Structure 1
Amino acid sequence: AAELMFHRAMGFAPHGGYWRRLRRLASAHALAPGRLAARRRAIGEETVRRVAAAMAHDGAVGVRRLLHLASLDNVMASVFGVGLGELGAGAVSELEEMVGQGYELLGTFNWGDHLPLLRLLDVHGVRRKSRALASRVKVFVSKIIEEHKTRRDAKYGGCDGDGDFVDVLLGLEGEERLEEEDMVAVLWYSNKIQLVRF
């Protein structure tokens, strides 16, 4: 998990001031009941649209795929402020691939986790694959952060914008401010914990 940058995210950060700050952010912003309730209607409308589109195209609905895409779309919209429709087909398939690979790596047995002497051998290639995935995730999430920064500066002169979780993190000041690497880890981890993999 540390290779996937999660050591800077709430679930894997050591207990202390940094962890408490992340917990406050998550409960006040990302997982706040009001924020989740506000998304409920949009989720319902998008689900109805996806079911109708699947019925029109195939005459049947692949429930597993529908739920997977709906969940991914919801998480992207609530955490990053960008729905799947706004990403484009290439970015959506890249995101799906990264999420799938992340879950696969988190579930892969790694001898190095149990026998530290074997960590250097990386028998199953878990560390190598995790580093490669972490690099891809960093590029993907950093691009979204930069787009938010540009939009905020152009629209609001650097003030609070649309109010998604990226905007909340960008709006932090003083001791609460997070470095970009921390934001990438927190955003990706938030994406992962909210996403239900079907």
Structure 2
Amino acid sequence: MELLPVDAVVRTLLELHYSEWLLLIAISITSVVLLRKTVIVHWPPGPLAWPIVGHLHLLDQLPHHSVCKLAQTYGPLMGLRLGGVPVIVASSPLMEREILKTYDAALAYRPRTAVTLHLCFDSSDVAFAPVGPYWKFLRQVYATELFSPNKMESFRHVREGEVRGLMQAVLRRGGERGCLVEVRGSLVTASNNINCMMVMGKKLDDMISGVAWNEVGSLHSLIEDLMHLMGVFYLGDYVPWLAWLDSHGYLKRMKATAQRTRALLQCVIDERRQ
């Protein structure tokens, strides 16, 4: 089959009669409608979507509550569209078993979002890396170097020591003040100490020495920023052409937090190399 040059195609289109243009437009619209119907037939049931935002207007401050209410109307397998991102919600044990066990290999897709790009080093950690040889290698490293029975047993004294220190701190504070004690901060510190000891061989507070704090800032605030930004709603992930708005400044904060994280990890790497 011989292909026409671009200028010939354009000249041919310009020479079309008014009625032929109408016919061409009608055929195009019909094709789009037929293709759309083909997709909708195979898509799970769900509420009517709005243009651009999709079903984002149906999610409030507690999205899991909103999705639960929608599932009561549209069933255990529901199709939503968050901006331009199609989403399937499974809300029954049977559907979850099909997705997480039966069809795990086909559905083990990890979305690439602004958080994974900036805070997870372009989706290079085990939680967000795409399924493939690299992800399997990471799982092997985790299994052998962190979570093997021998490794877990070797760090038993770390866990027991942090739990003992946590209990003593709670009892001491309760005895001094004679009132309720907020344990959230102590639990976060104990958890971070355990993780740091297993990964870096130091407690959280012991990592302060030798770190360029003019770049990193407070270590506790860095961890809090990481945890907070991992759960924020960033409009650019769902409506990419509105990413420039960044009304809450999340993208700017992600980039700044990523720079602080790299500075911290670089200090740890340099110390290990020395």
Match of 2:222 among 95, 98, 102: 98
Cα deviations across residues 95-140 of structure 1 (Å, max 9, x unaligned)?
2211111121111111111101012332221111101000000000
Query: Which residue number in structure 2 is paired with residue 83 of structure 1?
Result: 203
Q: Is residue 2:236 matched to residue 1:120?
A: no
Mapped contact 1:111–1:119 kept (Cα < 8 A) = yes
- Determine the C-alpha separation between the residues in 2 that align with 1:93 and 1:134: 12
Query: Residue 51 of structure 1 contacts residue 66 of structure 1 at CA under 8 Å; is this kept in 2?
Result: no
Considering Cα pairs closer than 8 Å and 6+ residues apart, tell me whether 1 or 2 has the greater RCO: 1
Q: In the alignment, what sits opposite 1:179?
A: none
Q: Cα–Cα, structure 1 residues 6 and 72, in superposed 2: closer, same or farther, change >3 Å?
A: farther
Quick one: structure 1 residues 55 and 111, their matched pair in 2 at CA, closer, same or farther if it must change by over 3 Å?
Answer: same
- Residue 33 of structure 1 and its aligned partner are, at CA, apart by 2.6
- Take 1:134 and 1:93, find their aligned partners in 2: how far apart are those partners? 12
Aligned residue among 136, 142, 151 for 1:35: 151
Matches of residues 1-198 of structure 1 in structure 2 within 5 Å?
A: 1=115, 2-4=117-119, 5=121, 7-56=123-172, 59=175, 62-88=182-208, 94-150=218-274
Aligned counterparts of 1:20 and 1:63: Cα–Cα separation in 2:
37
Separation (CA, whole Å) in 2 of partners of 1:117 and 1:96 = 34
State the SS of the aligned residue for 1:7: coil
The residue aligned with 1:183 is none
* Separation of aligned partners in 2, 1:81 and 1:93: 21
Provide TM-score, normalisation by structure 2: 0.49
Contact 2:166-2:187 at 8 Å conserved across structures: no
Count, aligned residues? 150
In 1: Cα distance, 2:161 partner to 2:193 partner: 12
Q: CA deviation at 1:22?
A: 1.1
* Partner secondary structure for residue 123 of structure 2: helix
Between the aligned partners of 2:218 and 2:229, the Cα distance in structure 1 is 16
What is the deviation of 1:58? 5.8
Measured in 1, the distance between the counterparts of 2:182 and 2:208 equals 21
Q: Alpha-carbon deviations, 1:63-95, whole Å to 9, x = none?
A: 322211110100010011111242349979822
Q: 1:40 to 1:125 in 2, by over 3 A?
A: same
Q: Following TM superposition, where does structure 1 have runs of at least 4 consecutive aligned residues deviating by more than 4 angstroms?
A: 88-93
- Alpha carbons of structure 1 residues 84 and 62: separation in structure 2 relative to 1, 3 Å: same
Gaps of at least 5 residues in structure 1 are 151-198
> Are the equivalent residues in 2 in contact too, given 1:98–1:137 (CA < 8 A)?
yes
Give the distance between the partners of 1:49 and 1:11, measured in 2 at CA: 30
